[in-house]
């Protein structure tokens, strides 16, 4: 089964000039665009004098764009790191304000909450506002692959999310998962347009992942989501693959996935 990830970058053709200067960071996803880019790359490589002859104004504009795309990546890293630091400590109001007005929040199989106020209230399902004593809610935000659209208005990122949980009187939990997020820049400020955390495995601390496998929570009856889960899957010991938002950094091709069979979810 082939998955084409839901990605605002995908489908937009990368300007050859962009592709040439960004190297592996952003690649077009269609082979015709790739051919065009490769042709331009070869041309640019063969004729370095061409760039030298561009007017100072156009070269400055080019620098400005390239520096802005680098700054965009820093800002998105800061945004997502802040999400993690706030989420860890139950600062739900701060978390919710990282989202755009129609932002989407989806954690595992809990379904999708849409909009800041709905997101803020849904976060109370993870505990009260402000972490209470004896609770640990660490959600690390690691290993970012950030892809900013050539126009600098949207972006995607994949993150590795290790999790350490505790509550009074019970064993701790280890978890690990993947984020596939979308971002939008509004009035010069990057915000989370969609956060989707795919837990991959969760286990009791003492049992470890040889003997323990905790499944994900489903949609809350107490505060139902605005939409059902966008992807239905089971975590470890099954091995679902969260679709990739970015093309392969070297080949430029989208990643083709074969998901594990699941008779209940209806995957062949």
Partner 1 sequence: MRLLLAAVLLVTPLPAAAQMTDAQVRAEAAALTRRVEVLEGNRAIRNLQRAFGFYVDRGLWRDAATLFAANGTIELGADGVYQGPARIEEYLRRLHGGQEGLIYGQLNEWVTLQPAVVVADDALTATARWRDLGMLGQYHQHAEWRDGIYQNTYVREGGVWKIATLRLYVNFVAPYGQGWARLAEGEGLTVSQAARDFPPDRPSSGAPAPFPAVQVPPFSQPHPVTGRAVQ
Rounded to whole angstroms, the Cα distance separating 63 from 83 reads 30
Binding string, 76-115, against partner 1, x = CB under 8 A? ----------------------------------------
Choice from 71, 102, 117, 186 touching partner 1 (CB under 8 A)? 71
Least distance from partner 1 to the Cβ atom of residue 28, Å = 13
- Answer yes or no: are the C-beta atoms of 146 and 155 closer than 8 Å: yes
| Sign of torsion over alpha carbons 258, 262, 264, 267 | positive
How far apart are alpha carbons 68 and 49 in whole angstroms?
25
Using CA atoms, how far apart are residues 158 and 248, in angstroms rounded to an integer? 13
Identify which range of 63-71, 94-102, 189-197, 214-222 contacts partner 1 by CB under 8 A. 63-71
Those residues whose C-beta lies under 8 Å from the C-beta of residue 21, and which sit 6 or more positions away, are: 62, 66
Within residues 179-218, the interface with partner 1 by CB under 8 A covers 200-201, 208-211, 213
Q: Which of 17, 241, 265, 267 binds partner 1 (CB under 8 A)?
A: 241
3-state secondary structure of 90: coil
Using CB under 8 A as the binding rule, the residues of this chain from 163 to 182 that contact partner 1 are 174, 176, 178
Strand ranges (DSSP E) for the chain?
99-107, 112-114, 136-139, 142-148, 154-166, 173-186, 189-204
Is 25 a binder of partner 1 (CB under 8 A)?
A: yes
The only residue of 4, 39, 42, 170 in contact with partner 1, by rule CB under 8 A: 42
Q: What count of other Cβ atoms lies within 10 Å of the Cβ of residue 253?
A: 13
**CB-nearer residue toward partner 1: 59 or 121:** 59
CA distance 222 to 122: 10
Is position 32 an interface residue for partner 1 (rule: CB under 8 A)?
no
CB of 158 to partner 1, least distance (A): 6
Tell me how far apart the alpha carbons of residues 100 and 146 are, in angstroms, rounded to a whole number.
18
Using the rule CB under 8 A, is 36 a contact of partner 1?
no
Q: Is 213:201 a contact under the CB 8 Å cutoff?
A: yes
Query: Nearest 5°: phi and psi at 86?
Result: -70, -45
Least distance in Å: CB of 166 to partner 1? 18
Number of residues near partner 1 (by CB under 8 A): 58
Question: What residues make contact with partner 1 under the rule CB under 8 A?
Answer: 19-25, 38, 41-42, 44-45, 51-52, 56, 59-60, 63-64, 66-67, 70-71, 73, 142-147, 158, 160, 162, 174, 176, 178, 200-201, 208-211, 213, 236-239, 241, 244, 246, 248-251, 255, 257-258, 260
């Amino acid at each position: 089964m082939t998955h084409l990830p839901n990605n605002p970058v995908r489908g937009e053709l990368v300007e050859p000039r962009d592709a040439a200067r960004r190297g592996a960071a952003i690649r077009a996803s269609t082979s015709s665009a790739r051919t065009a880019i490769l042709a331009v790359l070869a041309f640019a490589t063969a004729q370095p004098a061409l760039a030298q002859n561009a007017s100072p104004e156009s070269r400055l504009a080019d620098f400005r764009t390239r520096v802005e795309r680098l700054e965009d990546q820093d800002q998105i890293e800061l945004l997502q790191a802040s999400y993690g630091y706030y989420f860890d400590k139950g600062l739900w109001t701060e978390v919710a304000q990282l989202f755009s007005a129609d932002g989407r929040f989806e954690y595992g199989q809990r379904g999708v909450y849409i909009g800041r106020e709905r997101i803020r209230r849904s976060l109370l399902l993870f505990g009260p506002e402000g972490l209470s004593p004896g609770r640990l809610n660490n959600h690390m935000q690691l290993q970012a692959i950030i892809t900013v659209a050539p126009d600098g208005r949207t972006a995607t990122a994949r993150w590795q999310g290790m999790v350490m949980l505790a509550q009074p009187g019970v064993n701790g939990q280890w978890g690990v998962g993947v984020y596939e997020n979308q971002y939008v820049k509004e009035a010069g400020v990057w915000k989370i347009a969609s956060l989707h955390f795919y837990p991959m495995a969760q286990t009791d601390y003492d049992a470890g992942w040889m003997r323990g496998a905790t499944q994900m929570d489903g949609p809350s009856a107490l505060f139902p989501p605005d939409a059902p889960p966008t992807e239905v899957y089971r975590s470890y010991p099954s091995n679902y693959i969260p679709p990739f938002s970015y093309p392969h950094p070297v080949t430029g091709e989208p990643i083709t996935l074969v998901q594990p069979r699941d008779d209940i979810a209806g995957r062949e």
